[in-house]
Amino acid sequence: MLRNVILYLVSLVKYLLVSVIVGLIVMHFWPVPGLFVLGLMVLGSFAAAKDDTRKHILMEELQGFDEQLRMTIRNLQ
Amino acid sequence: MSDSVPIPLIPVLLGTLGGVVAGALLRQPEINRLRKQVQILQAEIQRLQALVEEQNRQIQELTVRYKTLKAWSFVEKAKQRARLEGAVMHQWAFKEYVELLCAQASERPLSEEERAFFNAYENLLAGLHGDKDERLIIRNYIRSKYRHEIERLVTVDASRLVASVEAVNVA
């Protein structure tokens, strides 16, 4: 559980950083729309980080599963 | 007084019986194939035991690697933990597959979930590389059944699995 939270926080920091950088660049040229973009991106970061974490964990899990599966197939032949 | 429609009992019974017999006859080749697989497993029981022990050894190795990771490398540690759980999950999937194989060879009918899991795992073993969905069927089934074992990284007892295979009568 804790490890999932940590992965989520790391992912969230990444998304927030990108959001802030992109938002600030847009704000530099178009202050009002830029603020809107920044807000949207920051809000979207939470959902994106959650999805990212779930995907990462699933991918790693399936990798561990596949390694064992390959070993099992080799031994059964 | 109610009007009762006379049910033609004998044709209904014969129809039902016919359906049961036809179903059993259609399943017979499949049962014979599974029995042959169980016979092979029984003949090579030491190989099965060695295989489960090898799985245990590799899981132990992954556990050691996971535990030796420094606490501050939390991302790597979380990834390693997920990989380890995947390996343990596979072992329980393999055990479940062998048990369902034996169950079918003894003509015990499988539930819908068991059948879906069995077919998905059999396809993977046959090298028909399933897509992600097939592995997700396996994951959902095994996680719902062995959640505690997977989370606590409990491995399968090889001797117990071997004993359950040996106990099946397929003669």
Chain A residues whose beta carbon lies within 8 Å of the beta carbon of residue B65: none
Chain B residues whose beta carbon lies within 8 Å of the beta carbon of residue A57: 78, 82
Sign of CA dihedral B67, B72, B73, B78: positive
pLDDT reported for residue B146:
95
Using CB atoms, pick whichever of A57, A65, A75 lies closest to residue B87. A65
pLDDT reported for residue B1:
46
Task: Kindly state whether A65 is in contact with chain B, defined as any CB-CB distance less than 8 angstroms.
Answer: yes
Residue linked to tokens 């999805």: A51
Question: In this structure, what token pair is assigned to residue B44?
Answer: 């090579």
Query: Which residues, including other chains, have CB under 8 Å from residue B30's CB and lie 6 or more apart?
Result: B104
Task: Kindly state whether A77 is in contact with chain B, defined as any CB-CB distance less than 8 angstroms.
Answer: no
Ramachandran assignment for B127, one of left (phi > 0), alpha (psi -120 to 50 degrees), beta (any other): left
Q: Above 90 in pLDDT, residue A20?
A: yes
Chain A residues whose beta carbon lies within 8 Å of the beta carbon of residue B146: none
Task: Kindly state whether A9 is in contact with chain B, defined as any CB-CB distance less than 8 angstroms.
Answer: no
Which segments of chain B have a pLDDT < 70?
1-10, 12-14, 16-26, 129-132, 170-171
Chain A residues whose beta carbon lies within 8 Å of the beta carbon of residue B91: 68
Q: Which amino acid belongs to residue B114?
A: E
Q: Is the CB of A67 less than 8 angstroms away from the CB of B91?
A: no
Residue linked to tokens 């040996």: B166
Task: Kindly state whether B90 is in contact with chain A, defined as any CB-CB distance less than 8 angstroms.
Answer: yes
Could you give the CA distance from residue B107 to residue B147 in angstroms, rounded to a whole number? 28
What integer is the mean pLDDT of A40-58? 93
Task: Kindly state whether B43 is in contact with chain A, defined as any CB-CB distance less than 8 angstroms.
Answer: no
Task: Provide the residue ranges of all domains of chain B, joining segments of one domain with +.
Answer: 9-166
Task: Kindly state whether B55 is in contact with chain A, defined as any CB-CB distance less than 8 angstroms.
Answer: yes
pLDDT reported for residue B84:
95
pLDDT reported for residue B30:
78
Q: Nearest chain B Cα to A60, which residue?
A: B83
Query: Which residues, including other chains, have CB under 8 Å from residue B132's CB and lie 6 or more apart?
Result: A62
Its pTM stands at 0.79
Task: Provide the residue ranges of all domains of chain A, joining segments of one domain with +.
Answer: 2-76
Residue B78, H or E segment: helix B74-105
Rounded to the nearest angstrom, the minimum Cα separation between A45 and chain B is 19
pLDDT reported for residue B9:
67
Q: Which residue has the higher pLDDT, A27 or B127?
A: A27
* Short-list A49, A65, A76, A3, CA closest to B140: A65
Percent of chain A with pLDDT over 90: 78
Q: Is the CB of B78 less than 8 angstroms away from the CB of A4?
A: yes
Chain B residues whose beta carbon lies within 8 Å of the beta carbon of residue A56: 79, 82
